[in-house]
Structure 1
Protein backbone atom coordinates (compact mmCIF):
# COMPACT_ATOMS: atom_id res chain seq x y z
CA UNK A 1 0.00 0.00 0.00
CA UNK A 2 2.72 2.33 0.90
CA UNK A 3 4.71 1.35 -2.16
CA UNK A 4 1.78 2.17 -4.36
CA UNK A 5 1.57 5.73 -3.03
CA UNK A 6 5.24 6.43 -3.63
CA UNK A 7 4.97 5.25 -7.16
CA UNK A 8 1.96 7.42 -7.78
CA UNK A 9 3.72 10.55 -6.46
CA UNK A 10 6.77 9.96 -8.65
CA UNK A 11 4.57 9.62 -11.73
CA UNK A 12 2.76 12.84 -10.91
CA UNK A 13 6.07 14.72 -10.55
CA UNK A 14 7.30 13.51 -13.90
CA UNK A 15 4.21 14.81 -15.59
CA UNK A 16 4.52 18.39 -14.14
CA UNK A 17 6.57 21.00 -16.10
CA UNK A 18 9.93 22.13 -14.64
CA UNK A 19 9.89 25.31 -12.52
CA UNK A 20 10.77 28.61 -14.30
CA UNK A 21 13.92 30.54 -13.25
CA UNK A 22 14.68 34.36 -13.64
CA UNK A 23 17.00 35.33 -16.60
CA UNK A 24 20.59 36.52 -15.92
CA UNK A 25 22.21 39.28 -18.09
CA UNK A 26 25.97 40.09 -18.37
CA UNK A 27 28.25 42.85 -19.91
CA UNK A 28 31.84 42.36 -21.08
CA UNK A 29 34.30 44.12 -18.77
CA UNK A 30 38.05 44.58 -19.41
CA UNK A 31 40.27 42.96 -16.95
CA UNK A 32 42.31 45.33 -14.72
CA UNK A 33 46.05 45.60 -15.56
CA UNK A 34 48.37 43.53 -13.53
CA UNK A 35 49.82 45.32 -10.52
CA UNK A 36 53.13 47.25 -11.21
CA UNK A 37 56.07 46.20 -9.17
CA UNK A 38 57.65 49.80 -9.41
CA UNK A 39 54.98 52.50 -8.94
CA UNK A 40 55.85 56.10 -10.16
CA UNK A 41 57.41 58.53 -7.67
CA UNK A 42 55.79 61.85 -6.81
CA UNK A 43 57.42 65.06 -5.40
CA UNK A 44 55.26 67.14 -3.15
CA UNK A 45 55.95 70.91 -3.32
CA UNK A 46 54.61 73.43 -0.84
CA UNK A 47 52.02 75.83 -2.17
CA UNK A 48 52.69 79.53 -1.42
CA UNK A 49 49.95 82.10 -1.37
CA UNK A 50 49.59 84.15 -4.55
CA UNK A 51 49.51 87.45 -2.66
CA UNK A 52 52.94 86.90 -1.11
CA UNK A 53 54.49 86.13 -4.53
CA UNK A 54 53.14 89.36 -6.00
CA UNK A 55 54.59 91.34 -3.12
CA UNK A 56 58.02 89.83 -3.67
CA UNK A 57 58.00 90.58 -7.39
CA UNK A 58 56.85 94.11 -6.78
CA UNK A 59 59.58 94.73 -4.23
CA UNK A 60 62.21 93.58 -6.74
CA UNK A 61 60.78 95.54 -9.67
CA UNK A 62 60.35 98.92 -8.06
CA UNK A 63 64.00 99.51 -7.03
CA UNK A 64 65.39 98.22 -10.36
CA UNK A 65 63.19 100.32 -12.65
CA UNK A 66 64.60 103.75 -11.71
CA UNK A 67 68.16 102.45 -12.09
CA UNK A 68 67.46 101.23 -15.61
CA UNK A 69 65.80 104.51 -16.53
CA UNK A 70 68.71 106.59 -15.22
CA UNK A 71 71.32 104.51 -17.06
CA UNK A 72 69.34 104.69 -20.30
CA UNK A 73 69.05 108.44 -19.91
CA UNK A 74 72.79 108.80 -19.37
CA UNK A 75 73.59 106.67 -22.43
CA UNK A 76 71.21 108.70 -24.60
CA UNK A 77 72.67 111.98 -23.32
CA UNK A 78 76.24 110.82 -23.96
CA UNK A 79 75.34 109.72 -27.49
CA UNK A 80 73.68 113.05 -28.21
CA UNK A 81 76.67 115.03 -26.95
CA UNK A 82 79.05 112.89 -29.01
CA UNK A 83 77.04 113.44 -32.20
CA UNK A 84 76.82 117.17 -31.47
CA UNK A 85 80.59 117.39 -30.97
CA UNK A 86 81.20 115.56 -34.27
CA UNK A 87 78.81 117.91 -36.07
CA UNK A 88 80.48 121.01 -34.64
CA UNK A 89 83.91 119.62 -35.53
CA UNK A 90 82.85 119.17 -39.16
CA UNK A 91 80.93 122.44 -39.53
CA UNK A 92 83.10 124.76 -37.42
CA UNK A 93 84.98 127.13 -39.78
CA UNK A 94 88.76 127.11 -39.97
CA UNK A 95 91.23 129.39 -41.72
CA UNK A 96 92.48 128.44 -45.19
CA UNK A 97 95.81 126.70 -45.48
CA UNK A 98 98.39 128.73 -47.45
CA UNK A 99 101.66 127.37 -48.80
CA UNK A 100 104.25 128.65 -51.26
CA UNK A 101 105.02 125.98 -53.84
CA UNK A 102 107.56 128.05 -55.78
CA UNK A 103 109.57 131.29 -55.73
CA UNK A 104 110.93 132.89 -58.90
CA UNK A 105 113.56 135.60 -59.11
CA UNK A 106 113.18 137.38 -62.43
CA UNK A 107 115.44 140.38 -61.79
CA UNK A 108 117.75 141.61 -59.05
CA UNK A 109 120.07 144.63 -59.29
CA UNK A 110 121.67 146.97 -56.80
CA UNK A 111 122.58 150.48 -57.94
CA UNK A 112 126.00 151.72 -56.81
CA UNK A 113 126.64 154.63 -54.51
CA UNK A 114 125.44 157.27 -53.95
CA UNK A 115 121.97 155.99 -55.03
CA UNK A 116 122.10 152.60 -53.28
CA UNK A 117 118.74 151.47 -54.65
CA UNK A 118 117.38 148.00 -55.36
CA UNK A 119 115.55 146.75 -58.41
CA UNK A 120 113.89 143.38 -57.80
CA UNK A 121 111.22 141.32 -59.55
CA UNK A 122 110.07 138.24 -57.65
CA UNK A 123 107.17 135.87 -58.24
CA UNK A 124 105.40 133.66 -55.69
CA UNK A 125 103.35 130.58 -56.60
CA UNK A 126 100.79 130.35 -53.78
CA UNK A 127 98.61 127.33 -53.02
CA UNK A 128 95.39 127.91 -51.06
CA UNK A 129 93.45 124.96 -49.63
CA UNK A 130 89.95 125.21 -48.17
CA UNK A 131 89.50 122.57 -45.42
CA UNK A 132 85.88 123.53 -44.65
CA UNK A 133 82.62 122.04 -45.89
CA UNK A 134 81.55 125.44 -47.27
CA UNK A 135 83.02 127.58 -50.03
CA UNK A 136 85.29 130.54 -49.31
CA UNK A 137 85.06 133.96 -50.98
CA UNK A 138 88.38 135.78 -50.54
CA UNK A 139 88.55 139.47 -51.33
CA UNK A 140 92.28 139.80 -52.04
CA UNK A 141 95.75 138.35 -51.57
CA UNK A 142 98.33 140.81 -50.27
CA UNK A 143 102.08 140.09 -50.56
CA UNK A 144 104.81 142.30 -49.08
CA UNK A 145 108.63 142.24 -49.33
CA UNK A 146 110.93 143.30 -46.48
CA UNK A 147 114.65 143.79 -46.06
CA UNK A 148 115.78 143.57 -42.43
CA UNK A 149 112.33 144.70 -41.25
CA UNK A 150 112.00 147.60 -43.71
CA UNK A 151 109.01 147.43 -46.05
CA UNK A 152 110.21 147.62 -49.65
CA UNK A 153 106.82 147.29 -51.35
CA UNK A 154 103.76 145.13 -51.80
CA UNK A 155 101.35 143.79 -54.38
CA UNK A 156 97.65 142.94 -54.15
CA UNK A 157 95.90 140.40 -56.37
CA UNK A 158 92.20 140.11 -57.10
CA UNK A 159 89.93 137.86 -55.09
CA UNK A 160 88.03 134.76 -56.03
CA UNK A 161 86.19 131.73 -54.70
CA UNK A 162 87.45 128.39 -53.44
CA UNK A 163 85.04 125.47 -53.42
CA UNK A 164 84.44 123.35 -50.34
CA UNK A 165 87.42 121.07 -49.74
CA UNK A 166 88.95 122.64 -52.85
CA UNK A 167 92.39 123.94 -53.80
CA UNK A 168 93.30 127.08 -55.73
CA UNK A 169 96.64 128.37 -57.10
CA UNK A 170 97.46 132.09 -57.30
CA UNK A 171 100.50 133.91 -58.73
CA UNK A 172 101.74 136.98 -56.85
CA UNK A 173 104.38 139.01 -58.74
CA UNK A 174 106.42 141.69 -56.98
CA UNK A 175 108.07 144.36 -59.17
CA UNK A 176 110.08 146.94 -57.23
CA UNK A 177 112.18 149.48 -59.10
CA UNK A 178 114.55 152.02 -57.54
CA UNK A 179 113.78 151.33 -53.89
CA UNK A 180 116.32 153.30 -51.85
CA UNK A 181 117.71 152.00 -48.58
CA UNK A 182 118.94 154.74 -46.29
CA UNK A 183 119.00 153.29 -42.80
CA UNK A 184 120.16 149.82 -43.87
CA UNK A 185 122.79 150.93 -46.38
CA UNK A 186 125.73 149.55 -44.44
CA UNK A 187 123.96 146.21 -43.90
CA UNK A 188 123.25 145.99 -47.61
CA UNK A 189 126.93 146.57 -48.46
CA UNK A 190 127.93 143.83 -46.02
CA UNK A 191 125.36 141.34 -47.39
CA UNK A 192 126.50 141.97 -50.96
CA UNK A 193 130.09 141.38 -49.89
CA UNK A 194 129.06 138.07 -48.28
CA UNK A 195 127.25 137.00 -51.45
CA UNK A 196 123.81 136.58 -49.82
CA UNK A 197 121.11 139.26 -49.41
CA UNK A 198 118.20 138.17 -47.12
CA UNK A 199 114.60 139.17 -47.85
CA UNK A 200 111.37 138.42 -46.03
CA UNK A 201 108.08 137.94 -47.85
CA UNK A 202 104.69 137.92 -46.10
CA UNK A 203 101.53 136.83 -47.94
CA UNK A 204 98.09 137.28 -46.38
CA UNK A 205 94.63 136.26 -47.59
CA UNK A 206 91.37 137.67 -46.27
CA UNK A 207 87.84 136.55 -47.01
CA UNK A 208 84.62 135.23 -45.58
CA UNK A 209 83.03 131.85 -45.14
CA UNK A 210 79.26 131.71 -45.58
CA UNK A 211 77.52 129.18 -43.31
CA UNK A 212 73.81 129.11 -44.10
CA UNK A 213 72.80 132.74 -43.37
CA UNK A 214 75.97 133.83 -41.56
CA UNK A 215 79.26 135.25 -42.90
CA UNK A 216 82.31 134.28 -40.85
CA UNK A 217 85.51 136.28 -41.50
CA UNK A 218 88.62 134.20 -42.15
CA UNK A 219 92.26 134.90 -42.93
CA UNK A 220 95.51 133.11 -43.51
CA UNK A 221 99.14 134.23 -43.52
CA UNK A 222 102.47 132.74 -44.53
CA UNK A 223 106.00 134.12 -44.19
CA UNK A 224 109.01 133.22 -46.35
CA UNK A 225 112.72 133.87 -45.91
CA UNK A 226 114.62 134.19 -49.21
CA UNK A 227 118.37 134.66 -49.63
CA UNK A 228 119.38 136.08 -53.01
CA UNK A 229 122.84 135.66 -54.53
CA UNK A 230 123.76 138.96 -56.28
CA UNK A 231 126.45 137.49 -58.54
CA UNK A 232 124.21 135.29 -60.70
CA UNK A 233 120.82 136.70 -59.54
CA UNK A 234 119.61 133.37 -58.17
CA UNK A 235 117.89 132.18 -54.99
CA UNK A 236 120.37 130.66 -52.59
CA UNK A 237 118.00 129.70 -49.75
CA UNK A 238 114.25 129.77 -49.10
CA UNK A 239 112.03 128.72 -46.20
CA UNK A 240 108.27 129.31 -45.86
CA UNK A 241 106.16 128.78 -42.74
CA UNK A 242 102.56 129.68 -41.82
CA UNK A 243 102.13 132.51 -39.35
Structure 2
Protein backbone atom coordinates (compact mmCIF):
# COMPACT_ATOMS: atom_id res chain seq x y z
CA UNK A 1 0.00 0.00 0.00
CA UNK A 2 1.17 3.37 -0.74
CA UNK A 3 1.85 5.95 1.86
CA UNK A 4 0.21 9.25 2.11
CA UNK A 5 2.58 12.02 2.66
CA UNK A 6 1.59 15.33 4.16
CA UNK A 7 2.51 18.37 2.27
CA UNK A 8 3.37 21.39 4.32
CA UNK A 9 1.21 24.49 3.63
CA UNK A 10 2.87 27.25 1.68
CA UNK A 11 4.56 29.75 3.80
CA UNK A 12 2.55 32.88 4.45
CA UNK A 13 3.94 36.14 3.27
CA UNK A 14 4.45 38.88 5.76
CA UNK A 15 3.52 41.57 3.16
CA UNK A 16 -0.18 42.53 2.72
CA UNK A 17 -1.81 41.85 -0.59
CA UNK A 18 -2.15 45.10 -2.54
CA UNK A 19 -5.72 46.30 -3.18
CA UNK A 20 -6.34 48.31 -6.32
CA UNK A 21 -8.24 51.53 -5.69
CA UNK A 22 -8.61 55.07 -7.11
CA UNK A 23 -6.02 57.55 -6.06
CA UNK A 24 -7.18 60.88 -4.57
CA UNK A 25 -5.09 63.93 -3.94
CA UNK A 26 -6.32 66.13 -1.17
CA UNK A 27 -5.13 69.70 -1.46
CA UNK A 28 -5.20 72.20 1.33
CA UNK A 29 -7.80 74.94 1.25
CA UNK A 30 -6.80 78.04 -0.75
CA UNK A 31 -7.71 81.46 0.37
CA UNK A 32 -7.07 84.31 -2.08
CA UNK A 33 -5.01 87.15 -0.79
CA UNK A 34 -6.91 90.18 0.48
CA UNK A 35 -5.91 92.42 -2.43
CA UNK A 36 -7.41 89.91 -4.90
CA UNK A 37 -10.77 89.98 -3.08
CA UNK A 38 -10.75 93.76 -3.09
CA UNK A 39 -10.08 93.79 -6.85
CA UNK A 40 -13.01 91.49 -7.51
CA UNK A 41 -15.26 93.64 -5.34
CA UNK A 42 -14.18 96.76 -7.23
CA UNK A 43 -14.88 95.04 -10.57
CA UNK A 44 -18.35 94.09 -9.41
CA UNK A 45 -19.04 97.67 -8.35
CA UNK A 46 -17.79 99.01 -11.68
CA UNK A 47 -20.01 96.58 -13.60
CA UNK A 48 -23.02 97.49 -11.49
CA UNK A 49 -22.34 101.19 -11.94
CA UNK A 50 -21.89 100.77 -15.71
CA UNK A 51 -25.17 98.87 -16.01
CA UNK A 52 -26.99 101.48 -13.95
CA UNK A 53 -25.75 104.20 -16.35
CA UNK A 54 -25.88 102.40 -19.70
CA UNK A 55 -29.30 100.82 -19.23
CA UNK A 56 -31.23 104.11 -18.84
CA UNK A 57 -29.27 105.64 -21.73
CA UNK A 58 -30.09 102.67 -23.95
CA UNK A 59 -33.76 102.84 -23.02
CA UNK A 60 -33.81 106.60 -23.68
CA UNK A 61 -32.14 106.15 -27.06
CA UNK A 62 -34.63 103.43 -27.97
CA UNK A 63 -37.57 105.63 -26.93
CA UNK A 64 -36.24 108.55 -28.97
CA UNK A 65 -35.79 106.27 -31.97
CA UNK A 66 -39.44 105.22 -31.87
CA UNK A 67 -41.07 108.45 -30.70
CA UNK A 68 -38.97 111.20 -32.25
CA UNK A 69 -41.27 113.10 -34.61
CA UNK A 70 -40.82 112.80 -38.35
CA UNK A 71 -42.45 114.56 -41.26
CA UNK A 72 -45.70 112.93 -42.46
CA UNK A 73 -46.05 111.51 -45.94
CA UNK A 74 -48.13 113.64 -48.28
CA UNK A 75 -49.49 112.19 -51.49
CA UNK A 76 -51.87 113.59 -54.09
CA UNK A 77 -53.89 110.42 -54.57
CA UNK A 78 -56.51 111.84 -56.95
CA UNK A 79 -56.62 114.90 -59.20
CA UNK A 80 -59.45 115.48 -61.64
CA UNK A 81 -60.09 118.42 -63.91
CA UNK A 82 -63.70 119.50 -63.72
CA UNK A 83 -63.59 122.50 -66.01
CA UNK A 84 -61.16 124.82 -67.76
CA UNK A 85 -61.91 127.75 -70.06
CA UNK A 86 -60.25 130.89 -71.33
CA UNK A 87 -61.56 134.30 -72.29
CA UNK A 88 -59.85 137.25 -73.92
CA UNK A 89 -60.42 140.98 -73.57
CA UNK A 90 -58.55 144.10 -74.49
CA UNK A 91 -56.02 145.48 -72.08
CA UNK A 92 -55.38 149.19 -71.69
CA UNK A 93 -51.82 148.68 -70.48
CA UNK A 94 -50.64 146.40 -73.28
CA UNK A 95 -51.12 145.98 -77.00
CA UNK A 96 -51.66 142.27 -76.46
CA UNK A 97 -55.08 141.06 -75.35
CA UNK A 98 -55.44 139.88 -71.78
CA UNK A 99 -56.32 136.29 -71.03
CA UNK A 100 -58.51 135.15 -68.17
CA UNK A 101 -58.76 131.56 -67.01
CA UNK A 102 -61.47 129.61 -65.24
CA UNK A 103 -60.25 126.38 -63.62
CA UNK A 104 -61.98 123.87 -61.39
CA UNK A 105 -59.90 121.01 -59.92
CA UNK A 106 -61.20 118.26 -57.68
CA UNK A 107 -58.47 116.56 -55.65
CA UNK A 108 -57.90 114.13 -52.80
CA UNK A 109 -54.85 114.37 -50.57
CA UNK A 110 -53.60 111.41 -48.53
CA UNK A 111 -51.73 112.21 -45.31
CA UNK A 112 -49.92 109.33 -43.58
CA UNK A 113 -48.61 109.69 -40.05
CA UNK A 114 -45.46 107.58 -39.68
CA UNK A 115 -44.96 108.30 -35.97
CA UNK A 116 -46.10 106.39 -32.91
CA UNK A 117 -47.83 109.55 -31.66
CA UNK A 118 -50.96 111.20 -33.00
CA UNK A 119 -50.70 114.19 -35.33
CA UNK A 120 -52.82 117.34 -35.30
CA UNK A 121 -52.60 119.40 -38.47
CA UNK A 122 -53.91 122.91 -38.77
CA UNK A 123 -54.64 123.12 -42.48
CA UNK A 124 -53.88 121.74 -45.92
CA UNK A 125 -53.16 124.32 -48.59
CA UNK A 126 -53.33 123.54 -52.31
CA UNK A 127 -52.22 126.14 -54.83
CA UNK A 128 -52.08 126.20 -58.62
CA UNK A 129 -49.75 128.22 -60.81
CA UNK A 130 -48.51 128.64 -64.32
CA UNK A 131 -44.80 128.82 -65.12
CA UNK A 132 -43.88 129.51 -61.51
CA UNK A 133 -46.51 132.20 -60.88
CA UNK A 134 -49.32 131.39 -58.48
CA UNK A 135 -52.83 131.78 -59.85
CA UNK A 136 -54.83 130.85 -56.74
CA UNK A 137 -55.14 128.48 -53.82
CA UNK A 138 -57.62 126.70 -51.56
CA UNK A 139 -57.30 125.85 -47.87
CA UNK A 140 -58.98 122.94 -46.12
CA UNK A 141 -59.77 122.66 -42.42
CA UNK A 142 -57.46 120.92 -39.96
CA UNK A 143 -57.87 117.47 -38.49
CA UNK A 144 -56.44 114.71 -36.33
CA UNK A 145 -54.55 111.60 -37.47
CA UNK A 146 -53.97 108.72 -35.10
CA UNK A 147 -50.56 107.15 -34.62
CA UNK A 148 -49.38 105.15 -37.64
CA UNK A 149 -52.61 106.08 -39.40
CA UNK A 150 -53.69 107.81 -42.60
CA UNK A 151 -56.31 110.38 -43.51
CA UNK A 152 -57.85 111.44 -46.82
CA UNK A 153 -58.77 115.09 -47.36
CA UNK A 154 -60.95 116.22 -50.26
CA UNK A 155 -60.72 119.73 -51.68
CA UNK A 156 -61.92 121.64 -54.71
CA UNK A 157 -59.77 124.36 -56.21
CA UNK A 158 -61.92 126.89 -58.03
CA UNK A 159 -60.53 129.83 -60.03
CA UNK A 160 -62.93 132.20 -61.79
CA UNK A 161 -61.72 134.88 -64.16
CA UNK A 162 -58.09 134.90 -63.07
CA UNK A 163 -56.24 137.22 -65.40
CA UNK A 164 -52.94 136.11 -66.88
CA UNK A 165 -50.80 139.23 -66.87
CA UNK A 166 -47.46 137.57 -67.54
CA UNK A 167 -46.36 134.81 -69.90
CA UNK A 168 -49.30 135.49 -72.20
CA UNK A 169 -47.35 134.47 -75.28
CA UNK A 170 -46.34 131.17 -73.66
CA UNK A 171 -49.94 130.50 -72.73
CA UNK A 172 -51.07 131.17 -76.31
CA UNK A 173 -48.44 128.76 -77.60
CA UNK A 174 -49.52 126.07 -75.09
CA UNK A 175 -53.16 126.55 -76.05
CA UNK A 176 -52.22 126.13 -79.72
CA UNK A 177 -50.45 122.87 -78.90
CA UNK A 178 -53.49 121.71 -76.93
CA UNK A 179 -51.60 121.01 -73.68
CA UNK A 180 -50.99 123.45 -70.81
CA UNK A 181 -48.60 122.67 -67.92
CA UNK A 182 -49.80 123.80 -64.50
CA UNK A 183 -47.94 123.70 -61.20
CA UNK A 184 -49.73 122.48 -58.08
CA UNK A 185 -48.27 122.66 -54.59
CA UNK A 186 -49.86 120.83 -51.65
CA UNK A 187 -48.67 121.76 -48.18
CA UNK A 188 -49.65 120.55 -44.71
CA UNK A 189 -48.83 122.31 -41.45
CA UNK A 190 -49.39 121.06 -37.94
CA UNK A 191 -47.74 119.98 -34.73
CA UNK A 192 -46.89 116.76 -32.98
CA UNK A 193 -46.76 116.58 -29.18
CA UNK A 194 -43.95 114.69 -27.44
CA UNK A 195 -43.95 114.84 -23.64
CA UNK A 196 -44.14 118.57 -22.83
CA UNK A 197 -42.95 119.80 -26.23
CA UNK A 198 -44.75 120.56 -29.49
CA UNK A 199 -42.80 119.96 -32.69
CA UNK A 200 -43.90 121.83 -35.81
CA UNK A 201 -44.70 119.65 -38.81
CA UNK A 202 -44.57 120.92 -42.38
CA UNK A 203 -44.58 118.83 -45.55
CA UNK A 204 -44.88 119.95 -49.15
CA UNK A 205 -45.34 118.08 -52.42
CA UNK A 206 -45.25 119.67 -55.87
CA UNK A 207 -46.83 118.35 -59.04
CA UNK A 208 -46.57 119.32 -62.68
CA UNK A 209 -49.94 118.71 -64.30
CA UNK A 210 -50.47 118.73 -68.07
CA UNK A 211 -54.04 119.60 -69.08
CA UNK A 212 -55.48 118.78 -72.48
CA UNK A 213 -57.61 121.76 -73.50
CA UNK A 214 -59.45 119.80 -76.21
CA UNK A 215 -61.02 117.02 -74.15
CA UNK A 216 -60.72 118.74 -70.72
CA UNK A 217 -58.61 115.98 -69.14
CA UNK A 218 -55.29 115.61 -67.35
CA UNK A 219 -52.89 113.80 -69.65
CA UNK A 220 -49.86 113.61 -67.33
CA UNK A 221 -48.98 114.26 -63.73
CA UNK A 222 -45.48 114.30 -62.20
CA UNK A 223 -45.19 114.75 -58.43
CA UNK A 224 -42.19 115.00 -56.14
CA UNK A 225 -41.76 115.92 -52.45
CA UNK A 226 -39.89 119.05 -51.38
Give a deviation string over 1:31-71, Cα, whole Å, max 9, x none. Answer: xxx976324599898987x7xx54x4434433344344434
In the TM superposition, structure 1's runs of 4+ consecutive aligned residues that sit over 6 Å from their partners are 41-48
Contact 2:128–2:184, Cα closer than 8 Å, also in 1? yes
3-state secondary structure, aligned to 1:116: strand
TM-score of the two chains, using structure 2 as the length reference: 0.78
Higher-Rg structure is 1
Give a deviation string over 1:84-105, Cα, whole Å, max 9, x none. Answer: 1110112212222111111100
| Structure 2: gaps (5+ residues) | 1-12, 90-96
Identify the match of residue 81 of structure 1 among 33, 57, 60.
57
2:156 alignment partner in structure 1: 173
Deviation at 1:117, TM superposition (A): 1.3
RMSD, matched Cα: 2.9
Task: Map residues 45-56 of structure 1 onto 2, 5 A cutoff.
Answer: 53-54=30-31, 56=32
Deviation at 1:138, TM superposition (A): 1.7
Distance 1:188 1:95 in 2: 36
Q: Does 1:218 align with 2:209?
A: no
Q: Does 1:193 align with 2:172?
A: no
1:140 alignment partner in structure 2: 123
Distance 2:80 2:14 in 1: 117
Q: Does 1:99 align with 2:82?
A: no
Distance 1:103 1:93 in 2: 29
Q: Give the number of the structure whose residues are more often strand, by fraction.
A: 2
Distance 2:132 2:125 in 1: 17
Give a deviation string over 1:193-225, Cα, whole Å, max 9, x none. Answer: 233211111111112223344433222211111
TM-score of the two chains, using structure 1 as the length reference: 0.73
Give a deviation string over 1:182-201, Cα, whole Å, max 9, x none. Answer: 22101101212233211111
Identify the match of residue 39 of structure 2 among 48, 63, 88.
63
1:184 alignment partner in structure 2: 167
Q: Give the number of the structure whose residues are more often helix, by fraction.
A: 1
